[in-house]
Structure formats: C-alpha cells, structure tokens
A = this chain, B = another copy of it.
Amino acid sequence: MTVIRGARERARSDVTAAIKEEARRRLAAEGAARLSLRGVARELGMVSSALYRYFPSRDELLTALIIDAYDAVGEAAERALDAGAGARPVARWTAVCRAVRDWALAHPHEYALIHGSPVPGYAAPQATVGPASRVGLALIAVVADAHAAGALRTSGPPVPEAVLRDVAALRERLGLPLPASVLAEAVAAWSQLFGLVGFEVFGQFERVIDARDAFFDHAAARLARLVGLEELEGDSGR
C-alpha cells in the first residue's frame, strides 16, 4: 500500500518523522507550552523556516503529536484488552484502566496534551476524533464481551429517556448489541476513569493518597462493577 515512490518522498517522510521525534522529546522534557519550533529546528541542525515545509504551523505540529498520543494510549489500552481476552470481566476492565494510567504516568506531558487544557484557540480537528475514542472503545469492548458471555448485570437505576436516545444512536454507529443503559454507564465510567488518572498525573492526590497503585486498582474495579460487570458474591447491596 505504502509503496516508496522515490528518494524525494522517502526523504520527506524521514525528516517528518525526525521532527516529530525531536518534538516529542522536547515535549516530554518541558511541556507543550515550552515547545518551540525554533528549538526543535535548532536541535535538528535546520533553520526554523525549513520546518514550515513539513508543518504549516506550530499548531499543526501539536495536532500531529496529539494524534500520536491518542494512538499511543489507545494502543496501550487495546494491548491490555487483547492480553486479557480470557480473563474475568472485572479483571480485564481493571487491566485496561491500568494500562491507560500507566501510560499517562509514563508520559505526563503527552497526557496533558490530550486531556489537559486545549491549546490556544484550538478546536480539536476532525482527524483527532478517531484516535481519541480508542480507549473508550476498548472499555466498551470489555463490557460487550462480558455481555456476550452473560457476565453482565444489565439492571440498575433507570437511565433518563433522553440519554437512552443518544446512547442508542451511538450503539447504532458502533454496531454493538449492548443494552443502551449499559452503554450509558460505560460512557460515564470512561470519563470518570480520566478523572482518576488526571488527578494522579496532575498531582492532586499529593499528600492525600500515597498508596496510589492500590487506590487506583480499587477504584477501577468499583467502576467496573458500577457498569455492571461480574460481581463477586456478597460485595454489593449491603
């Protein structure tokens, strides 16, 4: 599919990759706000204007990095998803959550790029929505598999009508045979997961929780049960 057409194109993609690599390095070192085009150009032995042949603006470069970051965390989640294919649903869910958290802790600046404040005036380009949903889809996949295996508790407090409609449209788009109410809970849990991760990455748990691993695993498992995944006997309902 990606046949190398000529030396010219190869050189172009090489340089593009080198720019992104160096940019990611500087990003990890000092954050998005301090990422300067001139800086990466300098490090690469080019002149700043040359970079504009590859990225039309600094924001475009950032967008590329954002997509890469979404893909990286999404891939981590999917790897955990696949690795836990046979496991019990709660364990599998927790593993996916942990993969996300571990990636975020290992790449805090990239995490900030995708789940922190959007850069300047910046509205997320359409190209980011696909990669952005990979983690959510991985979580939903856990639930869907559990549903198929009959390990899903589908009852719960009633979900508002309007939400059910939204979520039914989503189910349609995804082509999943999940009950709408469960999907609604999964979407909520998806966002809540990033609350847990964000607090930890941005240091809000400092001096509050020290045993972060245990805390996170416990919270992730509770989230799993909240969406209805297999419950161990005698843990829910007084």
Contacts and interface: CB of A to CB of B under 8 A. Distances in A.
A217 B159 CA distance: 10
Interface string A117-145: 11111011000010010000000000000
A177 interface: no
A59 to B, nearest CB: 11
A34 B113 contact: no
A52 interface: no
A148 interface: no
Contacts of A208: 166, 170, 187
List the number of copies, as a whole number: 2
Interface residues of A, number: 69
A199 B191 contact: yes
A117 B120 contact: no
A222 interface: yes
B196 A120 contact: no
Given A117-B113, A120-B34, A226-B222, A160 B202 contact: no
Contact of A195 (B33, B160, B198, B215): B198
A54 interface: no
11 contacts: A30-B121, A112-B117, A115-B198, A156-B235, A157-B222, A160-B214, A160-B215, A162-B214, A163-B215, A167-B209, A195-B195
9 closest A-B pairs by beta carbon, nearest first, are A195-B195, A116-B117, A237-B237, A162-B211, A112-B117, A192-B192, A160-B214, A191-B199, A188-B219
Given A112-B117, A188-B222, A222-B226, 15 more contacts: A31-B117, A31-B121, A33-B33, A33-B119, A113-B117, A116-B117, A157-B221, A160-B211, A163-B215, A163-B218, A167-B209, A192-B192, A193-B195, A194-B198, A236-B236
